[in-house]
Amino acid sequence: MEAKKSFLEQKIDLESPNKNIVPITTSIGTDGKLTIGGCSIEELVEKYDSPLYILDELTLRNSCRAYKKALEKYYPGESLPIYASKANSSIFMSNLVSSEGFGLDAVSEGELLTALKGGVPNEKIVFHGNNKSDKELDFAVKNNIKVIVDNDYDLERLDKISNSFNRELEIMIRFTPGIECHTHKYIKTGSFDSKFGFGIEYLNTLFERISNTKHLKLKGIHAHIGSQIFELEPHNDLGEIMVNVILDAKKFGHDIKKLNVGGGLGIKYTEDDDPPSIYDWVKTISNSVVRACKKYNLDLPTLMCEPGRSIVSTAGITIYKIGAFKEIPGIRTYLAVDGGMSDNPRPITYQSNYSACLVRNPLNINSKNKYTIAGKHCESGDVLFKEIELADCKTGDLICVFGTGAYNNSMSSNYNRIPRPAALLVCDGEAEIIQKRESPFDLLKYDVLPDRFIKQN
């Protein structure tokens, strides 16, 4: 019987990186060791230490270009892909997606500021959030960033702001279309019971309220039905629902020109995952909108979408160094690494699964050992992998975890006062720092000892 191929030996999809487990530049050198972007991982760790986040530039750009090309191919009207920056927010990521013609969505003043510092044009930024502060709204309006209204509280304050400036303010609204999708219950955001957006049954009342404001101009609608979605049918249904909302808005004098379908396309974390390609996802949603517009004799709106995970996740890997071993005879063998839940909270939060290999023996040659990979934090649940098959391991070996570009760095913390890792960009054999490694002393910068304690000491 022919031995099963490792995921590292499987054909790479260059057009739709979300269908790969590994970055598209992944290779095994003549020494049998893993390289990414033409760089030796062992040499990178020797220079930059571990844990270490690494992003592959070619995979990032291919993902962006797949969305652009697919929209040009399947949507005959204007389109604008917008990077969901919560997946991985940095000045570098803002700069890269902007250079590929993307806009960006942000959910805080920090993400807005990062986008602007990264060179994203103001007019291509949208501001989301279900509890925006007055300060955040003021920052967005003063910087001419389009606000997506999520609730009545947003609407009331934007009405006041527009009146205080005595000028028109274009807005979009977010609503829940009521489409269920097969995903984790914590990231299912398009059902009727959601903290995000207006209920679809409330929209006519909302449209009338906006009509009665002096300066607010409703120019777009937004809906998002979830994350890490492998089904196309929910997006096939979304177009007609949103076009019907545009038609209802017209009855109240609103001329909606922008239709934002959110994001949510899944990626391949493990061999069991089989997400649609970027092209299939874009084709499905484009055809859905075009079909509905033709049905109701409506001009095509600007089609916006908000990919995040499917842009950055597959491009990212995390490297750990093995430390302690603990064998429990007849039960399992634990190996501990120098990171864990502070640099990747998704396994303990969502029970998320990943793929991994040993850097010096990525194909697991002559070995079928199973290990449970534990993080170093003071939590029993800080386990990155349960019973994963790896080559023979020893203290000091490096482990590469794939698919960590999204929601690892952005959700990282300093739990147990552990500094965050450095992040590198690799391309054509060169590596550059895009985020510096924190030091323990960095964690003390914002600690303050009250004066009376200083006097007592």
DSSP assignment of 374-435 equals E-SSS-TT-EEEEEEEES---TT-EEEEES-SSSSSTT---GGGPPPPEEEEEETTEEEEEE
Q: What pLDDT, on a 0 to 100 scale, did the predictor assign at position 407?
A: 97
Task: State residue 38's pLDDT score.
Answer: 97
Instruction: Sketch out the chain's domains with CATH numbers.
Output: 7-56+316-443 (2.40.37.10), 58-312 (3.20.20.10)
Task: Identify the pLDDT of residue 193.
Answer: 74
Helix (H, G, I), strand (E, B) or coil at 161: helix
CA angle 31, 35, 39 (to 5 degrees): 110
CA distance 205 to 71: 33
**How far apart (Å, rounded) are the C-alpha atoms in residues 227 and 269?**
14
- Residue 154 CA: distances (Å) to CA of 50, 134, 139, 216, 456: 43, 9, 14, 12, 47
Residue of 214, 290, 217 whose CA lies nearest to 249: 217
C-alpha gyration radius of the chain: 24
DSSP state of 439: -
List the catalytic residues: 378
Checking DSSP bridges between strand 369-374 and strand 398-402, what pairing results, if any?
A: unpaired
Cα separation, 48 vs 437, in Å, equals 9
For every residue of 286-306, DSSP letters joined together read: HHHHHHHHHHTT-PPPEEEE-
| Dist. CA 417–CA 426, nearest whole Å | 28
What would the DSSP string read from start to end of 204-270?
A: HHHHHHHHTSSSEEEEEEE----SSB--SHHHHHHHHHHHHHHHHHHTTT----EEE----B---SS
* CA 95 – CA 104 distance, rounded (Å): 10
Give the pLDDT of the chain (457 residues) as one tens digit per residue: 455 678 888 889 988 999 999 999 999 999 999 999 999 999 999 999 999 999 999 999 999 999 999 999 999 999 999 999 999 999 999 999 999 999 999 999 999 999 999 999 999 999 999 999 999 999 999 999 999 999 999 999 999 999 999 999 999 999 998 876 666 555 555 556 788 999 999 999 999 999 999 999 999 999 998 889 898 988 888 999 999 999 999 999 999 999 999 999 999 999 999 999 999 999 999 999 999 999 999 999 999 999 999 999 999 999 999 999 999 998 999 999 999 999 999 999 999 999 999 999 999 877 778 999 999 999 999 999 999 999 889 999 999 999 999 999 999 999 999 999 999 999 999 999 999 999 999 999 999 999 888 877 6
With beta carbons less than 8 A apart as the criterion, state whether 421 and 343 touch: yes
Nearest to 180 by CA among 221, 248, 237, 239: 237
At 310 the three-state DSSP class reads helix
